[in-house]
Structure 1
Amino acid sequence: MTDAPIVHRIPLTERLKNPALLLLPATLFLAFIYLMPLIDLTRISMNGPSVLTHFERVFDIPLYWESLVRTMQIAVTVAFLCLLFGYPMALLIHRTRGTAQVLIATAIVLPYFIAILIRTYAWMVLLGRNGPVNKFAVWLGIFDEPMGLLFNRGTVLVCMTAVLLPLMVLSIYSSVARLDQSLTRAALASGAGPLAVFWRVLLPLTLPGIGAGFLLVFVSALGFFITPTLLGGPGDQMFAMHITQQADFVSSEGFLQALAVVLLVITLVVVAVAGRIMGFEFIWGGSKLSDTPARTSPRLKASTAKPRHTLGMVLADSIGWPLLRLLGRLHGGFGTWTVRLIGAFVIAALIVPIIVVIIISFSNATYLTFPPTEYSLRWYTKFFSDANWMRAFGNSLMIAALSACFAVILGASAAMGIVRSRIKYKSAIMLLLVSPVIVPPVVLGLSLYSLFLRFDLVGTVWGLAAAHAIGGVPIVVVIISAALQAVDPKLEQSAAVHGASPLTVFRTVTLPTIAPGLAAAVFFAFLHSFDELVLSLFLSSAQLKTLPLMLWADINYQLNPVLAVVSTLEVLLVVGGIALARPVLSRSRAA
């Protein structure tokens, strides 16, 4: 008779200390309120005489097919425009130092945190018949009278580019900032001119950032709804706009879901192809997560043993050198001044519309005009004395506070689980946690509507807060994960060895270190909810209006300076939040 093998069972208390368990709350939340509605959306889209009945109708009707093609064209064009203006801006930020660098980076980043609806409204003011562009053009004699600069394809492209440009700049800058500067210095010392260094060294090494920025802009543009609705003409309708229009018709069930699934599938296919080529890390701007210590992979060994001809090198060899021979005749300062001029133009395009709106908020006129003939606080008084605006403002604050709490609790625990656990497939889990940022908001809003109807959550504060938290969780996960990776695990291990419980270790060691990142996560999760419009359009009610919904209704029916007041308050909220966060961030860097 042989002895049975001894099985060492891990006590339950020890298993409960596993950091991987911290992933469960966020995973279950997203599974219920994010994945399940999307699956149900797909199921409803297939209800009909056959599985593909509604999809056949989408592609058979010229209106929808042409709109889909138009959406792809606009998204590609906007991505190229963002690349054209974003690359010089990334270089300008990288090459400047001190206060100038801070000011330029702020001018790029600050507008990104201002709601798309407000930035679109700013362009409507800027390009309106009584706006500064028309008045300046008439003063110069370019126009004899104000022209209709709104409601055309050019305006849609310009505004979408201005809205999405910070994504491109930040993606490219992350690649430029990681470059080894000795490479460019060595190339210059070897006799290569500035243009040759750019083409042979800088451009190939920043292709990952270019690709990531291009894809993020393209995917974001596919689901655009607000800007083309407000600034486009009848021939500029994008595919997402048909989903919101069809949502008003009860008879559209099935076909409406098919429209949403088509847009979702196109988005997922683009992301899947990009992820296969570049790795899905481009979505959250990080490196691949691993549960094992870093070691040299066979692929890396092969790449170091034998040089590979990358796409950038092939382009540089086949196209670059003929161009460089032609451009080499230009003066060396041509490229520097080109970057500076493009940078000045981009900063003006991002900041001037916001400044114009702030000035108009102090106008005494009953209509939008710039510059104001008289200044007063008339519209501020009207805003703060209007019960509807104040109720919407209070609703937005309450919903944003609740949503930020949900997002921070779920996102911070998930970030701890991702960074501190040793489970497999961390990158796949991270992809699930951040994937809501790539789903078009109109698709997510439509899918949530059915779920919320079932649980009587439509038009409730808790329902809207939970829906907004879907987009807040990825923000928190990315920020807290980055903060946790800067914490030395040995400090936590030392505290645990000396008898501290996991909660005590987190409270006394981890939390003080990640406090700046946690504060930033709270602020940005709050701001995300406070600005959210598309989900609120699907999930709110006549009794529960948020500030973006009130702003949306007024922009569609009337333009008056009250809207400028709302926009100004939003800008002050963003600037104030960032200003309050700076001392905390400064202390963390000094520590």
Structure 2
Amino acid sequence: MEQALQKTPAPRDAPSLDPQATVAIDLRFRRGRSRIWLLAVVPGTILLLLVIVAPMIYMARYGVVVGIDRWWMVLGQPPGSTILVRTVLVAVQVTLVCGLLGYLYAAALVAAGPRLRMLLFALVFVPFLTSVLVRTYAWMILLGKSGPLSALQNGLFDLGLIPTADGGLLYNRFAVLVGMVNMMLPLFVLPLYSVMSKLSPQLAPAARTMGANRVGAFFRITLPLSAPGAAAGATVVFTLSLGFLITPQLLGGTDDLMIAQYMLIRLHTFADLTSASLLAIGLILLVAVIVALFRVFYPIENLVVAGAGQQARRRGIRRSGAAGTSRPDRGRWWRILVRSLSDALAVLPWGVITKVLALVLGVFLAAPLLITIPVSFTNDGFLSFPPSSYSFRWYAEVLGDPGWITSLGESLKVAALATVLSLVVGLPIAFFIARAPVSQRVRSIVLVLSILPVLIPVIVLATGTYVWFLQIGAVGNVFALAAAHSTLGIPFMVVVVVSALRDFDRRTEMAARTLGASAPRTFLAITLPLLRPAILTGVLFAFLQSFDELFIALVLASPTAPTLPIKMWLATTENISPALAVVSNVFILFTLVVLGLLMVFSRTRKNLKKASR
């Protein structure tokens, strides 16, 4: 019977399986999928080439054409060299202060309960989402001669607690540093907290059981393990501080001129494209060196693609050892001194201290925004706090001025166009990074290129796009401005959606496919609804980036149709009045609405994630 079955010929309609043909079909299928994934990055590549790469190449042409004498005249001699050194020193000071305060705030966030953590997050997120121009204007009120801090200074002088009160708090280096730390501190706290929150809470107690006190456990365990987050925050703060313009311009004096201000003067006042381009090239080379040095210790894309927790843990454990507490203290006097100082500090209630200091820092971040509310209702014709009388005078003046209304409409139009472009370009890139069958190196390259506009100072982008768009005749075009703004929103769209896809449970998609749904239907019915909160979060971030942006709009927008930040910038440089407080409240109200929507989207995302499990 078995022999008969073996000799039974196969049916004529049964296809024969040729191994070579099967391999060829599989290769064609893979190539087809690869081509589809490559199409996902084509729009972003085109946009990046037109708005980032082409301006940089065209701007670099000035560096090649001019001789070394022009380079030396711009960067090697005063005032260029003096301003460059001053800018680097200020950026270093801001980064160090943000590092110290950022660790206090992040430690309090990790140790806080749910309610206190939500409050601390609100205190750091509201300023983070609010326009830099609005926050700087608020500091002008606080530090001005009629502001509350100047009144406090005079009171301390009357009590004999300070030697003099003649120096003033505004238009000096102190005001610049206070304002820049206020702007930059959230950018240090957020990446640091993202790493510290992933560390095991049992590490510090384990170190203490092996003989380390609370302070020693922090320096030998928590500090090394959280170093990647601190390095990422320091890199972002330092690079962005190099290109700061608004805060030094409005809070600093004549001796506090920084490189971004000097570039704007050469570009916008004297139309000196060559000097502005050389300054921009020098600044971007400095940023490139900083980012390259940071990548030697920790690739920044690991915070998004590979996850920061495991990388930080592996690197930190290698640095700190198992607990790092068993080293002998004998034979080194400085070790004994450090150990004694650590024991003395360990008796302090650090849990209470960090929370109290975090609340003080939260007030430092958010209080300047609150002061614009009573100032906007003043009946006075000048800035003063507290106001002598209250009325709706300035609200009526702003609403009755067609210039403010037109600028608001222009900002909304540009932001809407930029947001749509950020969504169309950023969403496919996020899927490519999270799901494309490519190597990790390719994913990292695509991610770095996507977030490149965030790492480059905006004043450099503004200079490059102006020089390039002026050549192709796109200055004053609203679509060109929206395209330039979209490059600032794409990084947020990519990072948010990639993070959501990394936590996405693909079994729901597999279940839909096994039930007969096609790939497009699965994407529209399953994937897209589950990702909707993350996508809407990216949309809101992209919209805010365009709505608040000043530098690129200042050089690309049409003079007859300025955006709202341009209108406010011109008002701060010409006539500082309480009308700016009214406009600031519009920005703050818009930010609060966006923050509320982000909280709703975050809660919805968590609920969908629980339901999918």
TM-score by length of 2: 0.87
Deviations 1:485-523 (A, max 9, x none): 222223324434544333222111111111111111111
* Counterpart amino acid of residue 81 in structure 2: W
User: Who is 1:361 aligned against?
Assistant: 376
Q: Contact conserved, 1:90 with 1:173, CA < 8 A, in 2? A: yes
- In the alignment, structure 1 segments of 5+ residues that lack a partner are 291-295
Cα distance, 1:471 vs structure 2: 0.6
Distance 1:16 1:94, change over 3 A: closer
Q: Which moved more, 1:530-539 or 1:234-243?
A: 234-243
Deviations 1:453-482 (A, max 9, x none): 244321122111111001111110101111
Q: Would you say 1:225 and 2:245 are equivalent positions? A: yes
Q: 556, 560, 571: which one pairs with 2:577?
A: 560
Distance 1:489 1:263, change over 3 A: same
User: Who is 2:214 aligned against?
Assistant: 194
Q: 402, 405, 417: which one pairs with 1:402?
A: 417
Q: Would you say 1:470 and 2:487 are equivalent positions? A: yes
User: Who is 2:13 aligned against?
Assistant: none
* Counterpart amino acid of residue 482 in structure 1: S
Matched residue SS, 1:39? helix
Partner Cα separation in structure 2 for residue 506 and residue 374 of structure 1: 59
Q: Would you say 1:84 and 2:100 are equivalent positions? A: yes
Partner Cα separation in structure 1 for residue 224 and residue 88 of structure 2: 27
Partner Cα separation in structure 2 for residue 459 and residue 502 of structure 1: 43
* Counterpart amino acid of residue 56 in structure 2: L
- In the alignment, structure 2 segments of 5+ residues that lack a partner are 1-17, 609-613
User: Who is 2:36 aligned against?
Assistant: 18
Partner Cα separation in structure 2 for residue 321 and residue 209 of structure 1: 30
Q: Which moved more, 1:10-19 or 1:372-381?
A: 10-19
Q: 420, 425, 432: which one pairs with 1:417?
A: 432
Q: Would you say 1:33 and 2:63 are equivalent positions? A: no
Between the two proteins, the alignment pairs up a number of residues equal to 574
% identical equivalent positions: 32
Distance 1:368 1:10, change over 3 A: same
Cα distance, 1:229 vs structure 2: 1.1
Q: Which moved more, 1:431-440 or 1:373-382?
A: 373-382
User: Who is 1:135 aligned against?
Assistant: 151
Distance 1:181 1:568, change over 3 A: same
Partner Cα separation in structure 2 for residue 470 and residue 320 of structure 1: 51
Q: Would you say 1:262 and 2:282 are equivalent positions? A: yes
User: Who is 2:171 aligned against?
Assistant: 151
Partner Cα separation in structure 2 for residue 531 and residue 4 of structure 1: 60
* Counterpart amino acid of residue 353 in structure 1: P
Cα distance, 1:181 vs structure 2: 1.0
Larger radius of gyration: 2
Partner Cα separation in structure 2 for residue 426 and residue 320 of structure 1: 45
Q: Contact conserved, 2:426 with 2:493, CA < 8 A, in 1? A: yes
Q: Would you say 1:111 and 2:147 are equivalent positions? A: no
* Counterpart amino acid of residue 124 in structure 1: M
Q: Which moved more, 1:323-332 or 1:262-271?
A: 323-332
Q: Contact conserved, 1:45 with 1:255, CA < 8 A, in 2? A: no
Q: CA RMSD in A?
A: 2.9
Q: 538, 545, 555: which one pairs with 2:562?
A: 545
Matched residue SS, 1:62? coil
Partner Cα separation in structure 2 for residue 329 and residue 453 of structure 1: 63
Cα distance, 1:288 vs structure 2: 3.6
User: Who is 1:459 aligned against?
Assistant: 476
User: Who is 1:237 aligned against?
Assistant: 257
Deviations 1:152-198 (A, max 9, x none): 11111111011000111112212211111111122233443211222
Where do residues 471-486 of structure 1 align in structure 2 (5 Å cutoff)? 471-486=488-503
Deviations 1:126-148 (A, max 9, x none): 00001111123334535887862
Deviations 1:354-387 (A, max 9, x none): 1111221111111111111222222111111110
Q: Contact conserved, 1:135 with 1:146, CA < 8 A, in 2? A: no
Q: Contact conserved, 2:537 with 2:601, CA < 8 A, in 1? A: no
Q: Would you say 1:393 and 2:421 are equivalent positions? A: no
Q: Contact conserved, 2:427 with 2:494, CA < 8 A, in 1? A: yes
Partner Cα separation in structure 1 for residue 36 and residue 521 of structure 2: 15
Deviations 1:412-441 (A, max 9, x none): 111112111112311011101111101111
Q: Contact conserved, 1:134 with 1:147, CA < 8 A, in 2? A: no
User: Who is 2:591 aligned against?
Assistant: 574
Partner Cα separation in structure 2 for residue 205 and residue 289 of structure 1: 14
* Counterpart amino acid of residue 576 in structure 1: V
Cα distance, 1:253 vs structure 2: 3.1
User: Who is 1:63 aligned against?
Assistant: 79
Distance 1:525 1:320, change over 3 A: farther
Partner Cα separation in structure 2 for residue 76 and residue 14 of structure 1: 50
Where do residues 496-575 of structure 1 align in structure 2 (5 Å cutoff)? 496-575=513-592
TM-score by length of 1: 0.91
Cα distance, 1:587 vs structure 2: 2.5
